[in-house]
Chains A and B, each alone.
Chain A
Amino acid sequence: MNHSRRKFLQISAITATVLVNNNTLFAQDISKQNHKSTYNSYKNQYNYMQGDVDKHGRFKDYDIWTNDGIVTRENLNSSYLQLSTDKPDFRPRSETTQSQHSIYMYEKDRLLYPLKRVGNRGEGRWERIDWDSATMQIAQNIWSLMVDSDKGAKSILVQVGKALMGESRRASGVRFANQLGAVLKENRGQNEEIKLDELYGEDLIVLWGYNPMESNIPDAHFIQESRYRGAKVITISPEYNQTARCSDLWIPIKKGSDEILTINLIYEILSSDSQKVEATRYNKSDLKEYDSRFTQQLTSISPMVVKKLAKEMLDSKKTKIICGNGYKSQQNIGYLKSLLGIDDKSAQKDIFQFLSDFDGRYRARVDGDFEQEMAIIMASSIYNKKPKEFKAEFLDRVKFIACIDTKMSESAMQADIVLPAQSIYESWDIYKSQNSTDKLLYSKPAVELKNIGASKDEWSIFAKIAQNLEFIANKTENLEFSKPEDDTNYTTSGFHDLSIFYQEYTNRDDLLNPLGDDELAYNLIKKKMDSGVVTADVQSKKVSDMESIPDLKQSKPDFPYSFVFKKSKWSRGVNYSASTTLLRLQRGEPVAVISVMAAKINGIKDGEYIRVFNDKGEFKVMAKVSSSVPFDCVIMQDGWENFMFTQRAGYSEILSQNSENYVNIERVI
């Protein structure tokens, strides 16, 4: 076969040469050709995918194509006004994980029906139950705790994840927590107010522990376009990532030494005679031990580089310094910015608060140390990136856990009742764009979209729990207990009236009625935003004092490699960590990235399996050998769930309560 093919190719080569030379390689008039099958198959495929245009749904900047009630794909269709003709516009605003949701939403890990645990927690034995039964059990647990004067609302946790939800869906859980006076925990991104389009026009952009080329993909183009305009981009990060690659200078800082470099820079800036430096209460002699000659060992950065960085900052007319999650302390960097006269704005208010509050009548507990016995976890990966002790303690203490999620996540796996939620293409929601347009976006399910299992949107789910709670409270034998007392910090009347709980929860006829017309709600909110009623208080921060100066003496860790999390561009938290489409764009399973030198020293080859271990525990993972990471780091993306690792033991095994974790590695034979 191989021989004949070669022979054929030799013969056909002569033919091809003749054809090419005669310029007859092009097909003749296409209309005379019979390529119907090709045309029809691809056009039919396109038309099938597109389905009925009149029935399309919407999700932010995407049209959601459906055919016969099934989502076929998401098709980008964004419209943004160009804010200025000399600034690039915002389109296309596409994102990798988003572009495959249409496939993943039908994956077999979707939760289809309410489930009740019948085995031990985490054992994976479930019984299918109906919505009434599931929500009644949750309501009963809430009731029991609320009417127990020793426990009350403070013993109930409502954990609201950011997940992929917008402001409306998120508000359903927050409102429920407010009304109960429960303990509310929310996972909200730290960098939500970073607007990358505002970088366009700056002369110097310093990206510190921030990797927008992987964590803010839709707006990352503004950085390269800023460079095309003449801006200098400097990235400070331990590893050479996509953002470092797209920079004019990359400063490979030793993991965890950002604050040392910050003070080092402050020292250099104070040492200059630049007029730019604003009056300060410190002078260079206060910080002399932070001379870069003394700090190089801690930061790995040579004095020459620090001086250059300081000079760039002093010489630049317009500078922006953006610190990402990789930079822990904000105080000293704020002081550095103030020193340079860099305007550091921050939005102070949750502009969608009005969706979930009760005009101050009820308020959830957001601060303080409370011991909860019950938890409602809504789209939150509560155990991810936490030490295993956290999970053990939580499961030991919290006697009843209800989890609302779209798929069988690690959080759902440990729950007592699991409630299936709709995914982002299946219900209404409201979002604000993370750029200067402050555009209000929405999601809207397609017309006649077939429901996946018995899943529901979160407003309906909480309304159903509220309805059952109200039902319990109105039972004759319960009526006298239906107004449990609480601190007036959390309810202005001094009690939560459970007998009208459903009525109060759903009474949002002015803005958002979970059982009503969401399009009307969207339009009302948009009107409020357009008229300026709902705006964030943008404040300029001036930091006049430094935080306590870090000790330069570093204790030597017991293990040689710093274990570092990298924000996953593939899973957005844990949300898409089980997507086949996206896993095939990685290595199909969790990987730990190690340096070429660490691989050599430990006799590890790319693709082999390693033990990552310390005195707390260990886990097994595939090694990826890379020239882009420092010798002393083991880097993992942060979206992996425990059940994706061998024996369901993931990186929780080696994490400690401290923020810094050190490990060793060893090849698994």
Chain B
Amino acid sequence: MKKRQLAMVIDLNKCIGCQNCTVVCKTMWTNKKGKEYMYWNSVETIPGRGYPKNWQDMGGGFNADGSLKDGKIPNMEKEYGIPWEYNHDEIMSAKEFKPEIKPTWSVNWDEESGGGEFPKDNYFFNLPRICNHCSKPSCLAACPHDAIFKREQDGIVLVDMDKCQGCRYCIAACPYKKIYFNPMLSKSEKCNFCFPLIEKGLAPMCASDCSGRARFVGFLDDVDGQVFKLVKRYRVALPLRADFGVEPNVYYIPPFESPPKYNSKNEIVEGSDRIPMDTLEKLFGQEVFDAIKTLRNEKKDGKSELFNLLTAFRHEDMFRVGVDVS
């Protein structure tokens, strides 16, 4: 069987932070005891601390020499936030409706908070995240029980529930912290890229239900597909934190048009960008400069194939999951 890799491209210009992807994933896969805190899909605000809190500083992934980089298992209370429950049944008795524990952190804590100085150069944008189904998955490399495997036919990374012993090395090793420990089962769980849907030729729910029409799904070797064109041909879709060394397979179209800044007299600073380039460079590497240049040049063109592609006139054009190019 030919080894193939499914990938997702997320256009950050079209993501409106509505979290519909988060909710459809939650209702399908993680609405169960032991999974309350799991968000296989989450949408963060940048700048922000993310989920788990400060995940970008928790290590994991590979060093330049190919060795596994030490990583940290996030703390439930401080970094995930204990998922609070409510006293719904007491509302009718005129009690205050409130969480049973004081909320300290959660998946969308920094929503729209942003950075910069209002109204001069404040900014924010959203960053949706799922498991990157990496080509070099450090979770797989770290598992002492061979419980994590990568499928040949589509590159989806899954946890073998029979073999997983719940040691959590995979969580420490994942630099994106997108693998979670299920305390009810004592096993690790993670995004399965909706493989039961993939096997029916359908896109994952977070993509097919994306209100902003921001997510494309397809095989990286499908030269006629949008994913191939965006990643390989136009090179405007970039991996997140490629420096982690795991070769992630979720790619992002960086935000390339933000409203201009204001100066101290509240006058428009023509040609300025609210989103600092160093923020984008940290997330997407140096390639982001060329990607943004390409996006801006193509947009000026007015009849760009790239922008027709990003617009996606027909919703079904965003997904090429069942294509066999062998």
A interface, CB within 8 angstroms of B: 5-6, 8-10, 12-17, 19-21, 25-30, 33-38, 41-43, 45-46, 49, 73-74, 76, 82, 85-89, 91-96, 99-100, 102-103, 107-109, 115, 122-126, 213-214, 217-218, 220-221, 224-225, 227-230, 235, 240-242, 244-250, 252, 296, 300-302, 304-305, 308, 407-408, 413, 569, 578, 580-589, 595-597, 606-607, 624-631, 641, 643-648
Write the B76-119 contact mask toward A (1 if CB under 8 angstroms, else 0).
Answer: 00000001111011011111111100011011110111111111
6 A-B pairs (CB sep. < 8 Å): A25-B136, A38-B160, A88-B213, A99-B209, A103-B27, A124-B95
Residues in chain A near residue B26, CB distance under 8 A: 100, 581
Residues in chain B near residue A13, CB distance under 8 A: 62-63, 66-69, 141
Chain A CB within 8 A of B50 CB:
no
What is the CA–CA distance of A94 and B213 in the complex, to the nearest angstrom?
10
Given contacts A26-B151, A124-B92, A242-B16, 14 further A-B contacts (CB under 8 A): A9-B68, A35-B149, A89-B313, A92-B213, A249-B268, A305-B266, A413-B92, A581-B23, A586-B106, A587-B106, A627-B115, A628-B112, A628-B118, A643-B95
Residues in chain A near residue B299, CB distance under 8 A: 228, 230
Task: Say which one of B223-231, B233-241, B252-260, B280-288 lies at the interface with A.
Answer: B252-260
Identify which of A30, A85, A100 contacts B313 (C-beta below 8 A). Answer: A85
Q: Is the CB of B68 within 8 A of A584?
A: no
Identify which of A33, A94, A647 contacts B209 (C-beta below 8 A). Answer: A94
Q: Is the CB of B315 within 8 A of A91?
A: yes
Chain A CB within 8 A of B57 CB:
no
Identify which of A73, A82, A95, A624 contacts B314 (C-beta below 8 A). Answer: A82
Q: Is the CB of B209 within 8 A of A92?
A: yes
- Given known pairs A28-B152, A218-B211, A230-B302, the reply for A9 and B142 (CB within 8 Å) is yes
Q: Is the CB of A94 within 8 A of B24?
A: yes
- Given known pairs A30-B153, A220-B211, A220-B212, the reply for A305 and B161 (CB within 8 Å) is no
Q: Is the CB of A27 within 8 A of B23?
A: no
| Residue among B24, B135, B138, B173 with max Cβ neighbours from chain A (10 Å) | B24
Q: What does DSSP make chain B's interface, helix, strand, loop or mixed?
A: loop
What is the CA–CA distance of A300 and B113 in the complex, to the nearest angstrom?
22
What is the CA–CA distance of A36 and B259 in the complex, to the nearest angstrom?
51
Residues in chain A near residue B111, CB distance under 8 A: 586
- Given known pairs A35-B160, A588-B106, the reply for A645 and B141 (CB within 8 Å) is no
What is the CA–CA distance of A99 and B16 in the complex, to the nearest angstrom?
16
Identify which of B117, B144, B302, B307 contacts A12 (C-beta below 8 A). Answer: B144
What is the CA–CA distance of A206 and B245 in the complex, to the nearest angstrom?
44
Q: How far is the CB of A109 from chain B (nearest CB, A)?
A: 4
Q: Is the CB of B173 within 8 A of A217?
A: no
Q: Is the CB of B307 within 8 A of A217?
A: no
- Given known pairs A30-B151, A91-B315, the reply for A220 and B66 (CB within 8 Å) is no
Q: Is the CB of A16 within 8 A of B98?
A: no
The 10 tightest CB contacts between A and B, nearest first, are: A124-B94, A16-B141, A13-B68, A588-B103, A13-B67, A17-B66, A108-B88, A91-B315, A252-B119, A250-B259
Q: Is the CB of A99 within 8 A of B259?
A: no
What is the CA–CA distance of A606 and B105 in the complex, to the nearest angstrom?
12
What is the CA–CA distance of A46 and B27 in the complex, to the nearest angstrom?
11
Chain A CB within 8 A of B267 CB:
yes
- Given known pairs A5-B169, A38-B160, the reply for A627 and B106 (CB within 8 Å) is no
Residues in chain B near residue A94, CB distance under 8 A: 20, 24, 209-211
Q: How far is the CB of A50 from chain B (nearest CB, A)?
A: 9
Residues in chain B near residue A227, CB distance under 8 A: 257
Residues in chain B near residue A86, CB distance under 8 A: 313
With both beta carbons as reference points, the residue of chain B lying nearest to A300 in the complex is identified as B266
Identify which of B14, B113, B124 contacts A221 (C-beta below 8 A). Answer: B14
Residues in chain A near residue B17, CB distance under 8 A: 213, 242
Q: How far is the CB of B221 from chain A (nearest CB, A)?
A: 14
Identify which of A217, A596, A626, A641 contacts B20 (C-beta below 8 A). Answer: A217
Identify which of B18, B29, B69, B118 contacts A627 (C-beta below 8 A). Answer: B118
Residues in chain B near residue A16, CB distance under 8 A: 62, 66-68, 138, 140-142
Residues in chain B near residue A27, CB distance under 8 A: 149-152
Residues in chain A near residue B248, CB distance under 8 A: none
Chain A CB within 8 A of B180 CB:
no
Q: Is the CB of A585 within 8 A of B108?
A: yes
Q: How far is the CB of B294 from chain A (nearest CB, A)?
A: 14
Q: What does DSSP make chain A's interface, helix, strand, loop or mixed?
A: mixed
A-B contact count (CB 8 A): 326
Q: Is the CB of A585 within 8 A of B19?
A: yes
Residues in chain B near residue A49, CB distance under 8 A: 28
Residues in chain A near residue B28, CB distance under 8 A: 46, 49, 73
Write the B123-166 contact mask toward A (1 if CB under 8 angstroms, else 0).
Answer: 11100000000011110111110000111110100111110000
What is the CA–CA distance of A15 and B68 in the complex, to the nearest angstrom?
9
Residues in chain A near residue B65, CB distance under 8 A: 17
What is the CA–CA distance of A228 and B302 in the complex, to the nearest angstrom?
9
With both beta carbons as reference points, the residue of chain B lying nearest to A27 in the complex is identified as B149
What is the CA–CA distance of A596 and B138 in the complex, to the nearest angstrom?
39
What is the CA–CA distance of A228 and B311 in the complex, to the nearest angstrom?
7
Residues in chain A near residue B109, CB distance under 8 A: 587
Residues in chain B near residue A582, CB distance under 8 A: 23
Chain A CB within 8 A of B33 CB:
no
Identify which of A29, A107, A214, A245 contacts B88 (C-beta below 8 A). Answer: A107
Q: How far is the CB of A156 from chain B (nearest CB, A)?
A: 26
What is the CA–CA distance of A139 and B29 in the complex, to the nearest angstrom?
47
Chain A CB within 8 A of B13 CB:
yes
What is the CA–CA distance of A597 and B18 in the complex, to the nearest angstrom?
27
Q: How far is the CB of B173 from chain A (nearest CB, A)?
A: 7
What is the CA–CA distance of A235 and B259 in the complex, to the nearest angstrom?
10
- Given known pairs A302-B265, A305-B268, the reply for A580 and B313 (CB within 8 Å) is no
- Given known pairs A26-B150, A108-B89, A627-B116, the reply for A305 and B209 (CB within 8 Å) is no
Chain A CB within 8 A of B70 CB:
yes
Q: Is the CB of B137 within 8 A of A408?
A: no
Identify which of A9, A20, A89, A124 contacts B70 (C-beta below 8 A). Answer: A9
Residues in chain B near residue A225, CB distance under 8 A: 14, 213, 311
Q: Is the CB of B94 within 8 A of A122?
A: yes
Q: How far is the CB of B70 from chain A (nearest CB, A)?
A: 6
Chain A CB within 8 A of B122 CB:
yes
Chain A CB within 8 A of B1 CB:
yes
- Given known pairs A9-B173, A305-B266, A646-B96, the reply for A240 and B119 (CB within 8 Å) is yes
Chain A CB within 8 A of B56 CB:
no
With both beta carbons as reference points, the residue of chain A lying nearest to B314 in the complex is identified as A89
With both beta carbons as reference points, the residue of chain A lying nearest to B26 in the complex is identified as A581
Q: Is the CB of A25 within 8 A of B16?
A: no
Q: Is the CB of B267 within 8 A of A304?
A: yes
Q: Is the CB of B159 within 8 A of A38?
A: yes
With both beta carbons as reference points, the residue of chain B lying nearest to A29 in the complex is identified as B1
What is the CA–CA distance of A225 and B307 in the complex, to the nearest angstrom?
9
Residues in chain A near residue B68, CB distance under 8 A: 9-10, 12-13, 16
Chain A CB within 8 A of B195 CB:
yes
What is the CA–CA distance of A265 and B168 in the complex, to the nearest angstrom?
61
Residues in chain B near residue A625, CB distance under 8 A: 113
With both beta carbons as reference points, the residue of chain A lying nearest to B308 in the complex is identified as A228
| Residue among B88, B97, B106 with max Cβ neighbours from chain A (10 Å) | B97
Identify which of B22, B97, B260 contacts A585 (C-beta below 8 A). Answer: B22
Residues in chain A near residue B307, CB distance under 8 A: 228-229
What is the CA–CA distance of A595 and B122 in the complex, to the nearest angstrom?
11
Q: How far is the CB of A3 from chain B (nearest CB, A)?
A: 11
Q: How far is the CB of A534 from chain B (nearest CB, A)?
A: 29
Q: Is the CB of A413 within 8 A of B208?
A: no
What is the CA–CA distance of A428 and B84 in the complex, to the nearest angstrom?
34
Chain A CB within 8 A of B31 CB:
yes
Residues in chain A near residue B36, CB distance under 8 A: 584
- Given known pairs A109-B91, A413-B94, the reply for A8 and B169 (CB within 8 Å) is yes
Q: Is the CB of A626 within 8 A of B259?
A: no
What is the CA–CA distance of A447 and B119 in the complex, to the nearest angstrom?
54
Chain A CB within 8 A of B310 CB:
yes
Q: How far is the CB of A171 from chain B (nearest CB, A)?
A: 29
